[in-house]
Amino acid sequence: MFDKNKTGMAFGAMVALVHLIWSIAVAIGFAQTWINFVFSVHFLNNPFTVSAFNFTTAITLIIVTAIVGYVVGWVFAYIWNWAHKK
């Protein structure tokens, strides 16, 4: 059995961390290089251009993804527990 709150917190934290790293990559000017590489190893042309770093946008991204990650983790734990009732 999964604790829904702990699972939500863990997944939310993980997703927020990934987006914090992405925000740092944008801030230091590495994100465009990274996204170009990711597209190229998938045999795709990159149609996207990374915008200039904006602190407010970065914080919003991290908070929103943490909340969505929490909800996804909570729902996952709920479904897992429901499916594995004894």
Mean pLDDT (the chain, rounded): 97
pLDDT tens sequence across 10-55: 999 999 999 999 999 999 999 999 999 999 999 999 999 999 999 9
CB atoms under 10 Å from CB of 81, counted, come to: 14
Q: Is the pLDDT of residue 86 over 90?
A: no
Output Rg (C-alpha) for the chain, integer angstroms. 17
C-alpha 1/C-alpha 3 separation (Å) is: 7
Write down the domain spans for the chain: 4-83
Q: Considering the entire predicted model, what is its pTM? A: 0.90
pLDDT tens sequence across 48-85: 999 999 999 999 999 999 999 999 999 999 999 999 98
CA 8 to chain centre: 13
